[in-house]
Structure 1
Amino acid sequence: MADVIERAAVMVGGVEISPAVIAAEAQNHPAGDADVAWQSAAEALAIKHMLLAEADRLGIEASEIEDAEGRKLAGEDARIEALLAQEVTVPEANEAEARRFYAQHQDRFASEALVEAEHILLSASPDDTLAYNMALSDARGLIRQLKAEPDSFARLAHEYSACPSKEQGGNLGQIGEGQTVAEFEEALFALGEGELCREPVRSRFGVHVIRAVRRAESQQLPFEAVAASIRTYLEEASYRRAVAQYLSILAGRIEIEGVELPVAQGPLVQ
C-alpha cells in the first residue's frame, strides 16, 4: 500500500481550507514535485481566503468588473478586485520618472535590426554523412555560379531549393534576431547589403546558400515614441509591489496556519 502523505491543516482566521479543495487547486500550479504544487496551491488559497475575509470585514460587495479580455469576473474574484481597487492605490508615473527610466535602459528602446534574406536550402540530415557532404558540394557549386551570375539567384532557388520560399525566388523577407536557427542568423547578419555568403551554411535542416538583400539597422527610438509604454510599465510594477506589501500586512493581522506568507512590519507604502 502506498504511503499516505500527511500534510498540516491549512487554516485562515480559524477556518480550515479543505485538503480536497487544495488538491483541486494544485492542478493550476504544475510542478515537477507534488509537494511543491500542493504548497503553491495552499498559499494561493490562503491568500484568496485572507482577501475575502478582509472584504467581509470592510463590507465590500461584488461589482460589475471585467478582466483584461473583457470577461465578467465571478463573484469572489470581483470582490477581491473591488477590495484591491479600494485599498491599494498607485500614483501615476510622471514624465520625470519615465525619462529617468528611459535614460537608464536605452538599450531596451531601439528598433530591431532586420535583414531581407534570400536563400537556397539543400535538404540533408547531418546524420547522413554522404548526403550531407553531397549537399555541401552542391552548395559550393551554386555559390560559384552565383558569383559569376548574380542575377540567377531566383532561378536557381526555384530549381534547387527544398524550402517553400523557392516560389518567391528564395526570398524569405525580413529576418529579425531569434527568428531562425542560430547558424543561419549568424551568417546572415554578418553580410553586407547585397553580399553573398562565401561558404555554405550548415544547420540541422541541411545546407544553406545565403544572400543578404537589404538591411535595416537598429536605431534608437525617441523618448516620445515609448513614453506611454514606459509609464504603463512603471505603474504596473508599482502596483505589483503595492499589492505584495498589502498582502503581507494582511498576513500580519490574521492567524494563518499550515503555510507561511511574508509579513510586513510597516504601513503600506506605494
Structure 2
Amino acid sequence: MTSNMIGASASTETVELSVNGVVIDAAAIDAESASHPEEADPDYAARRALVVRELLTQRAVTLGLLVAGTDLDDQTTDCLLEMECKTPLPSDDECRRYHAANAQKFRSPDLVFARHILFALTDKAAMTHVRSRAEEAHRELVQRPERFEALAQTLSNCPSGEVGGNLGQLSRGESVPEFEKAIFETSHVGLLPGLVNTRYGFHIVSVERRIAGLALPFEAARETIARYLQERVRHKSIQQYLTLLASSAELRGIALDVRPGLLLQ
C-alpha cells in the first residue's frame, strides 16, 4: 500500500494523522502528549504511540480478537503478540555461551564490613565548622585507630554511633552513591585516608573486612540468562513486527520510528 509520511523533524500541524484512513484527531494527540513529558518532542512521541496503538487495533480486529470500535486493552495486545510474535526459548547451549562470554556479570555480591562516624550537615552549623571537627577527629584516629568506637559513640550523628559506628555487612546498592563509591572502588582496609563527603555530611570510615564476590556457576545463573535472552529476542521480534505492520499500512502525518521497547512504555 502507498504511504504518505513526513519525518519527525518536519511540521506535522498541516498533515492529518491517519492509519489506513482512520483519522487520529488533534485532541487525542494533545491528550497523549501529556504522557511523554520526558521526550525531546512530546508531540511526535504522542503521534507515534497512537499510530502503533491503531495499527495493533486494526490487526486485532482483522484476526477477530477485537470487535471493531472497541478500545485495545493489554490482554488483547498480549494475545495478539502471542499469536504473531512467538518467542523461542533459548537453548541450553545458547545460555552456556552467553554465560561464558559474560562471566563477570554473574558473581555473588562483593561485601564490605565497615564502621563510620557521621558529622551531619545542619542549618545550625556552618559547613566549614562541621568539616573542621571531622578533620580533627580523623587526625586523632590516624594516630590512635583503637579510639574509633569511643569517638563514634560520642561524636557521630548517626544512630550507628551507639554501637561504635558499626554498619555491619554492606553490598552495592545499600548506601548512597558517594558512600558506596568510597568503600567499593578501592581495596583499602582500615581507616580510609580522607573524609567521605555525602549529601548527609562528612564521614570518617573504617573498613573492617572485605569479602570479594565469587563467580556463579552456570547452573546458578541459567534461569536468569534464559529470561534475559528470551526478553531480548522478544523485544527484537516486536520491533520487527511493528515495522512490518507500518510498512504494510497507509500512514499520513508521521514517519514511524519504531524503537525497541515501544510497547513497554
TM-score of the two chains, using structure 1 as the length reference: 0.78
* 2:24 is aligned with 1:26: no
Seen in structure 2, the aligned counterparts of structure 1 residues 124 and 136 have a Cα distance that, compared at 3 Å, is: farther
* 2:182 is aligned with 1:186: yes
1:118 is aligned to 115
How high is the sequence identity, in percent, across the aligned residues? 32
Seen in structure 2, the aligned counterparts of structure 1 residues 187 and 10 have a Cα distance that, compared at 3 Å, is: same
The range that moved more, 48-57 or 166-175, is 166-175
RMSD of aligned Cα (Å): 2.6
2:219 is aligned to 224
2:4 is aligned to none
2:21 is aligned to 14
Structure 1 unaligned residues grouped into runs of 5+: 63-73, 264-270
* 2:126 is aligned with 1:132: no
* Cα contact 1:122–1:161 (8 A) shared by 2: yes
- Equivalences for residues 225-240 of structure 1 within 5 A: 225-240=220-235
The alignment covers a number of residue pairs equal to: 239
What is the CA–CA distance in structure 2 between the aligned matches of 1:240 and 1:221, rounded to whole Å?
27
Seen in structure 2, the aligned counterparts of structure 1 residues 235 and 184 have a Cα distance that, compared at 3 Å, is: closer
What is the CA–CA distance in structure 2 between the aligned matches of 1:183 and 1:160, rounded to whole Å?
19
What is the CA–CA distance in structure 1 between the aligned matches of 2:205 and 2:231, rounded to whole Å?
43
Counterpart of 1:259 in 2: which secondary structure? Answer: coil
1:47 is aligned to 52
Pairwise CA distance, 1:75:
5.3
* Cα contact 1:196–1:211 (8 A) shared by 2: yes
* Cα contact 2:39–2:45 (8 A) shared by 1: no
2:156 is aligned to 161
- Equivalences for residues 61-76 of structure 1 within 5 A: 61=66, 76=73
Pairwise CA distance, 1:216:
1.4
Pairwise CA distance, 1:124:
5.3
Counterpart of 2:50 in 1: which secondary structure? Answer: helix
1:67 is aligned to none
What is the CA–CA distance in structure 2 between the aligned matches of 1:112 and 1:25, rounded to whole Å?
42
Superposed CA deviations along residues 106-160 of structure 1, whole A, max 9, x for unmatched, are 11111221101111123458974344224312321244232xxx2x533321111
Amino acid in the other structure paired with 1:144: Q
Which of 66, 76, 80 is the aligned partner of 1:79? Answer: 76
What is the CA–CA distance in structure 2 between the aligned matches of 1:182 and 1:38, rounded to whole Å?
38
1:65 is aligned to none
1:260 is aligned to 255
Seen in structure 2, the aligned counterparts of structure 1 residues 240 and 131 have a Cα distance that, compared at 3 Å, is: closer
Counterpart of 1:136 in 2: which secondary structure? Answer: helix
* Cα contact 1:187–1:201 (8 A) shared by 2: no
Which of 169, 173, 183 is the aligned partner of 1:174? Answer: 169
Amino acid in the other structure paired with 2:218: F
Pairwise CA distance, 1:181:
4.4
What is the CA–CA distance in structure 2 between the aligned matches of 1:222 and 1:19, rounded to whole Å?
55
Pairwise CA distance, 1:80:
2.1
TM-score of the two chains, using structure 2 as the length reference: 0.80
Following TM superposition, the consecutive aligned residue runs of length 4 or more in structure 1 with deviations greater than 4 angstroms are 124-127
* Cα contact 2:57–2:66 (8 A) shared by 1: no
Counterpart of 2:191 in 1: which secondary structure? Answer: coil
* Cα contact 1:90–1:235 (8 A) shared by 2: yes
Seen in structure 2, the aligned counterparts of structure 1 residues 161 and 85 have a Cα distance that, compared at 3 Å, is: same
* 2:195 is aligned with 1:201: yes
Amino acid in the other structure paired with 2:197: S
2:100 is aligned to 103
What is the CA–CA distance in structure 1 between the aligned matches of 2:49 and 2:28, rounded to whole Å?
11
Structure 2 unaligned residues grouped into runs of 5+: 1-11, 259-265
2:246 is aligned to 251
